[in-house]
Structure 1
Amino acid sequence: MCPTEVEWFANLTNRCTRRAYENTIRDFMAFTGIQKPGEFRRVTRAHVIALPDDLGNRVLNGTTIRHRLSALSALFDYLCEKNAVTHNPVKGVKRPKHDSLEGRTPALGDHQARKLLDAPNGDSLRPLQDKAILAILLYHALRRKELCKLTVKDFKHERRGVPYLKVAGKGGKTRYVPLHPAAGGLIHNYLERAGHGADDAGALFRLVSHNTKSGEAKAITPDGVYKLVRTYSGKLGFEIGAHSLRATSATNELDHQADIAKVQEWLGHANIATTRMKILSL
């Protein structure tokens, strides 16, 4: 007959929940020395009280600790329901308070943004491309996927003599973003070095390979953009993700008295309420 603990886990139908709970349970078993599912019935309140300190020492944030305690509580609630244990030892254990800063996307200060943009050094193809990518993210708040989908032609749009970027956004929606002169100059430098400026239908930003015939035709990937930002920012001492550059752009526009409706259009949000929520979380 299968132990009640295994039965509880088998009843979790959501794949993401199963994965998160599996990590929590495996970690808790290592912490308490549990070898078999049935040994959960020996867990005491003292074990659970000691857990947050252990997790905190491993630099896990308050949200993660709360989620892990919730998972354990769900297990013991089930064991109580099945009369496998007499009480839930997680009940009443103090959980970390919600940090008002948790879950926020950090925006860079002006000096950090300048340092990041200056980080790629040299006039070879890779640093020229990296600098152009960082400029697009910093000046135009594009999502990673949006940047990766840019074609050479998308960079060549004009309206009344003003250069624009044509951006393929979420939900198949297209938007036109005025091209910042600094970003435009860096992209021109990159295209001149890369040599595919006449390939209008091809990807604007391409994989850099020693074998240019097979490498340059393929567009860069969102994961590649993420790693690029993490690498340069990490070397500067403030490791961030690409989304922080989007937050930096939005913050900068609002600091310069831009209308929130204009920022909404610029970010490609379908609803202005989304823009307000994002701004409040910065």
Structure 2
Amino acid sequence: MGKPDNALVIAPSGSRLLTAEDFRRLSDVPPEVEWFANLTNPQTRRAYQNAVEDFMRFTGIKKPEEFRDVTRAHVIAWRDDLGNRVLNGTTIRHRLSALSSLFDYLCDRNAVTHNPVKGVKRPKVDSGEGRTPALGDHQARELLDAPEGDRLKDKRDKAILATLLYHALRRDELCKLKVKDFKHERRGVPHLKVSGKGGKIRYVPLHPAASRLVYEYMEMAGHGHDDNGALFRPVSHNAKDNGGKSITADGVYKIVRTYSAQLGFEIGAHSLRATAATNALDHQADIAKVQEWLGHANITTTRIYDHRKTRPEDSPTFKVSY
């Protein structure tokens, strides 16, 4: 949403008192700016910022206070424009939800009398099936075998692919892993400590195949005793004295994209999460356990990975016998 003149001010480090000027500026912060400052999750913040900035461009809004003149007609016109840009229904719903969150906050602060997004018809959810493609078992095995060399990069990439495919982690979750998160044990079973969305922590049992590959990578990288450092690091920054910098989410995406493209099925990193979830469900994993494993707040989200009812081999077609 940009940074207006009266944006929130951070007091200097070590200072106990606000200056008179800082106190005045904080008193004048519009609730629209307060709302954005209260978004602490980086992913939510980025998505909501993109949505609201898109609405501001469409309507010509320049100042936070101008949101108070928005009517339902403005929101409907924006929704229709999003549809004309051939955005899918899920994306449009998410953008409307972001704008609605802003107006809910303004209502709470008595800055507006009602939320103009409420009552605006939203596109139907396309289907109960996920759009992210899942790999077949043979493709997953090919991907795991794709990094073939004995260089540090090969060891690291193989360990990353195995960690994603065997534990269904999100990219950001993998990037947050520290060395010590790989060393947990519960009831005698090695576990990964995963920091999920909303700061929620979950413990995921370590798959032996992935565990072996991660140990091989750490042994070559030499940072296995750097407990507070990142588990997966840029290849050129693996020394313990570099501060333990983590590989980025974009770096993980490029690893998956590069190896999958070489194999003829170019995919993103989230497809490995979909692959793991689908594979577990296909092999009769309890869906409630899969929900917990994935860190989903709602089991409805988990069901998009459950394709057991749509498998061709289970169709009544193959039960017909003459």
* Aligned-partner SS, 1:209: helix
Within 2, Cα distance between the matches of 1:145 and 1:214? 23
Q: 1:163 to 1:206 in 2, by over 3 A?
A: same
- State the distance in 2 between where 1:173 and 1:100 align: 28
State whether residues 108 and 245 of structure 1, in contact with CA within 8 Å, keep that contact through their aligned partners in structure 2: yes
Deviation at 1:276, TM superposition (A): 1.9
Partner AA of 2:201 in structure 1: T
**Deviation sequence 1:109-158 (CA, Å, 0-9, x none):** 01100110111121111000000000011000000000000011100111
Which letter maps to 1:117? L
3-state SS of paired residue (1:107): coil
- Separation of aligned partners in 1, 2:299 and 2:148: 39
- CA shift, 1:168, in A, is 0.4
Kept in 1: contact 2:130–2:305 (CA 8 A): no
Counterpart contact for 2:222–2:240, Cα < 8 Å = no
Instruction: Measure the CA separation in 1 of the matches of 2:86 and 2:187.
Output: 59
2:193 is the counterpart of 1:166: yes
Q: Does 2:85 align with 1:68?
A: yes
Give 1:164-203 correspondences, 5 Å limit: 164-203=191-230
8 A contact 2:159–2:213 mirrored in 1? yes
Q: Which residue pairs with 1:132 in the alignment?
A: 159
Judged with a 3 Å threshold, the aligned counterparts in structure 2 of structure 1 residues 18 and 259 are, in CA distance, closer, same or farther, namely same
Correspondence for 2:143: 116
SS at match of 1:163: strand
Gap change, CA 1:166 and 1:212, over 3 Å in 2: closer
Question: 2:258, 2:204 → 1: CA distance?
Answer: 27
Change in CA separation of 1:199 and 1:143 when aligned onto 2, cut-off 3 Å: same
Aligned position for 1:226: 253
Q: Deviations over 1:242-277 (max 9, x none)?
A: 000000000110011000000000000011122124
SS of equivalent residue, structure 2 residue 246: coil
1:209 and 2:247 are equivalent in the alignment? no
Seen in structure 2, the aligned counterparts of structure 1 residues 206 and 69 have a Cα distance that, compared at 3 Å, is: closer
| Structure with max Cα Rg | 1
Instruction: Measure the CA separation in 2 of the matches of 1:17 and 1:252.
Output: 40
Q: State the distance in 1 between where 2:165 and 2:238 align.
A: 30
**Structure 1 residue identity aligned to 2:195:** A
TM-score by length of 1: 0.64
Tell me how far 1:15 sits from its aligned partner.
2.6
| Distance in 1 between residues matched to 2:238 and 2:165, nearest whole Å | 30
Q: 1:113 to 1:216 in 2, by over 3 A?
A: farther
- Tell me how far 1:17 sits from its aligned partner: 5.4
Q: Residue type matched to 1:129 in 2?
A: R
In 2, distance between residues paired with 1:66 and 1:102? 21
- Following TM superposition, by how much is the alpha carbon of 1:105 offset from its aligned partner in structure 2, in angstroms? 0.6
Q: Deviations for 1:179-232, whole angstroms, at most 9, x for unmatched residues?
A: 000000000100110001011111100111179577683100101000110011
Q: 1:69 to 1:197 in 2, by over 3 A?
A: closer
Q: How many residues align?
A: 200
Residue 245 (str. 1) matches residue 283 (str. 2):
no
Alpha-carbon shift at residue 233 of structure 1 (Å)? 0.3
Specify every segment of 5 or more residues in structure 1 that has no aligned partner in the other structure, as ranges: 1-12, 22-64, 71-97
What amino acid is aligned across from residue 234 of structure 1 in structure 2?
A
Cα RMSD of the aligned pairs, angstroms, is 3.0
Match of 2:289 among 258, 262, 266: 262
State TM-score, norm by structure 2. Answer: 0.56
Structure 2 unmatched runs, 5+: 1-50, 60-81, 88-124, 311-322
Partner of 2:18: none
Residues in 1 aligned to 2:238 and 2:160: alpha-carbon distance in whole angstroms: 21
* Counterpart Cα distance in 1 of 2:268 and 2:224: 29
